[in-house]
A = this chain, B = another copy of it.
Amino acid sequence: MDSSSRRRDAISLKELAQHLMLSQSTVSRVVNQSPGYLRIAPSTRERIMQAVAEMNYKPNMMAQGLRRKRSQIVSVIVPEISDGYSTGVLSGIEDSLLLGGYFYFVVSHRHRPELLHEYPSLLQSRAVEGIIAVDTLIEEELSIPVVSVSGRHRVGSMVNIELDHQLAARYALEHLKKLGHERIAFIKGQAFSSDTNARWRSITKVASELAITISPRLIVQLEGIGIGIEPGRVATVTLLERNEPFTAIFAFNDHAAMGAIMALHEAGLDVPGQVSVVGFDDIPGAATNNPALTTVKQPLQEMGRVAASELLTILRSDERMKTKRTIRVLPTFIERASTALAIHNQEKKEPVLFRSIR
């Protein structure tokens, strides 16, 4: 039986100290390299470090946390964990957090108000040191720092990681304009989605700069907390029923774009032959979608990484009440197969008119 397969239960500082015939204080100091650590005799340090390794001593984080009043835990709160968006951000968060010696809880609220309300206090009772809110708006004022990823917070939130929505809108709109699209339909985000308004403002601004007219009859909005592509499909059906001609759709996110494409297909329309569709996010399924999605890519992992390292910075600096600030990250634009030249370009300056589906 080699030492790696032998299983001992955790050993305590007290036992370790006894074994070494030293006080807990001394052992604790060298284990943690705490101030005063250097004043301890090198030979003693040596002995201690050796015993730590041999006996596989690991401090009990609950005791440590209780004493130091730091749990070394943060929490990430997302709308829905089985969603490409949250998941990309989470992956980036993990990178930064573990390097900093923190673990994280993840909780998802699924847009249920009770959960959204309960979680902060539940987490507080868990002595969580900070919160990263992904695409969710924290209403209550918390006594721990929160950094949010694309969710502007009235209160609490110290740092906001936000996409440069203006650049995003410019990418998409210039692309469509270059392809000759003039009648562009828009699928706005759900009212509860924290990005919805910021994104929409940028779109209208950029549209006017580019002299693109937005017809109110070509604006639809995602509704319901349904996950997946269904909300986008429904919105597009509504759009088609309005019987207002358009040659392109700019969707709030990739799911909505996929749903739009499904509705378009169901209505017998070709994408991108008759209608071009631009998505947003570049979630994993975007590239393999039918057709592959042209989309504005958010650097999700990077956003997570930045969020986590900002939170750690706040936690390390004792003055918790820093000034609020926003960190802007840049989108990129991915051209794939769901966009093409507007049809009236090849024919005669006249957008296609769709008959109502029903």
Contact = CB atoms under 8 A, between A and B. Distances in A.
A106 B108 CA distance: 13
A333 interface: no
A140 B284 contact: no
Interface stretch (A119-127, A186-194, A213-221, A314-322): A119-127
B65 A5 contact: no
A62 interface: yes
B61 A127 contact: yes
B284 A289 contact: no
A106 B9 CA distance: 23
A288 B10 CA distance: 49
B125 A60 contact: yes
Residue of A88, A98, A292 ringed by the most chain B CB atoms within 10 A: A98
Contacts of A237: none
A90 B262 CA distance: 28
A9 B125 contact: no
Nearest to A69: B62
Interface string A85-106: 0011011001000100001111
13 contacts: A58-B121, A61-B126, A62-B66, A62-B127, A81-B91, A82-B88, A82-B90, A82-B91, A82-B284, A98-B107, A103-B105, A104-B105, A105-B105
Work out how many copies of this chain go into the complex. Answer: 2
Contacts of A58: 121, 124-125
Contacts of A81: 87, 90-91, 94
Q: Which 9 A-B pairs have the closest CB atoms?
A: A290-B290, A285-B285, A58-B125, A82-B91, A62-B66, A82-B87, A103-B105, A62-B65, A258-B288
Interface in A243-293: 258, 262, 284-285, 287-292
Contact of A290 (B5, B84, B288): B288
A116 to B, nearest CB: 14
A4 interface: yes
A124 B62 CA distance: 11
Interface string A330-358: 00000000000000000000000000000
Contacts of A60: 66, 125, 127
Contacts of A292: 290
Residue of A229, A262, A290 ringed by the most chain B CB atoms within 10 A: A290
A84 B140 CA distance: 32
Nearest to A8: B143
A285 B254 CA distance: 11
Given A9-B143, A62-B66, 12 more contacts: A7-B141, A7-B143, A10-B125, A58-B121, A58-B124, A62-B127, A82-B91, A82-B284, A84-B284, A105-B105, A229-B287, A289-B290
